Amino acid sequence: MRKGQNPAKFVKDVAKPERITVALLNYIPFISGFYAETLDVLKVSLESMRKDAGLPFDLMVFDNGSCEEVREYLVNEKEEGRIQYLILSEKNMGKGGAWNVMLAGAPGEIIAYTDADVLFSPKWLSRSVEILETFPNVGMVTARPFRTPPEFYEGTLRWAKGNAALDEGQFIPWETFLEFNLSLGQTEEENKKVYAETKDWRIQYKGVTALAGASHWQFTAYKSTLQQFLPFDMDKPMGQVRQLDKRMNDAGLLRLMVSDPLAMNMSNTLGYLRGELGKERGKKKAGFGKRVLEIGIIKKILLAVYNKIFGWYYS
């Protein structure tokens, strides 16, 4: 039997969420090997997104089954008021499973999604929202220009040809193009040919400039738009995330990028901040041990063993 009145009945006001929710997805199963620096990468990402984003936001973090040390860090960030919404998943649900929860549950009218290894520059959010609110029928806006597969922005070009000023050319500077691709483990040499043979599409509409293209690793979108594509049924943790890119293009929604780099992929190390990208140009010839490890059959066997051990612990 109830005794007394619930004190909550006397509360006159409740907190309202910000219009924008920044939703970050994190997965760090252990702090060693490939993941040795990823907690530091996460900390840098969180610090950079909060520094002069240009607009207020609430932060939602979905942790996809990380190790205890990472969970403890996130809980402390929540208790200190630096994370407004924290979801700790017992198991790794994969990106699709996490998106189903995050994109449906984020309270904001606008969702700015990001992977946990993105370094942000000032005004990244306000510039993204400016494009989102100026252009019509926008699916997603990524806070960095880079060259994306043309088949994923065909609908954007169809709209732009009849409704905006559209130009084709080398609008992404070589250094900006190279910087991003080096972070993905590519080499400068292989990118020279790609850069020379590909172009960018610049779209100008109502005084705002954007480039055609966007990507699933970081984007800003209306929540109502994203809900059209839920749920995601992905049977692998990674590798199927371009479903969102394809579905948006097929639906005729615009996929756009800001015209200058306001977000950068750090991958799994702080090498970008240490200035290590592209240093292979000045590297000495690899030592004997390193060359042995790069022999095809040896590399294949060792990576297979690594993957097997990883599967035993985390599958």
Phi and psi, residue 285, nearest 5°: -60, 135
Q: Which of 213, 214, 243 is nearest to 99 (CA)?
A: 243
- H or E element in which residue 257 lies: strand 254-257
Nearest-5° angle of CA 94, CA 76, CA 315? 25
Q: Which residues make beta-bridge pairs with 87?
A: 62
User: Counting Cβ atoms within 10 Å, is residue 297 exposed (0-12), middle (13-18) or buried (19+)?
Assistant: exposed
Is the pLDDT score of 281 beyond 60?
no
Q: Which residues pair with 308 in a beta bridge?
A: none
Q: Are 10 and 231 in contact (CB under 8 A)?
A: no
CA dihedral 195, 239, 105, 233 (to 10 degrees): 130
The CATH number of 20-265, from 3.30.420.40, 3.90.550.10, 3.40.50.2000, 3.40.50.1000, is 3.90.550.10
The per-residue b/e assignment along 56-93, b for 16 or more CB within 10 angstroms, e otherwise, is: ebbbbbbbbbbbeebbebbeebbeeeebbbbbeeeebb
Domain spans of the chain? 20-265
Say what the pLDDT of residue 280 is.
46
Tell me the pLDDT band of 76, cut-offs 50, 70 and 90.
very high
* Gap between the Cα atoms of 258 and 239, Å rounded: 25
Stronger pLDDT, 260 or 299, i.e. the higher one: 260
Q: What is the pLDDT of residues 223-267, one digit of tens each?
A: 999 999 988 876 655 456 788 899 999 999 999 999 999 999 998
Looking at per-residue pLDDT, the higher value among 168 and 296 belongs to 168
d(CA 300, CA 294): 9
Q: What is the mean pLDDT of the chain?
A: 88
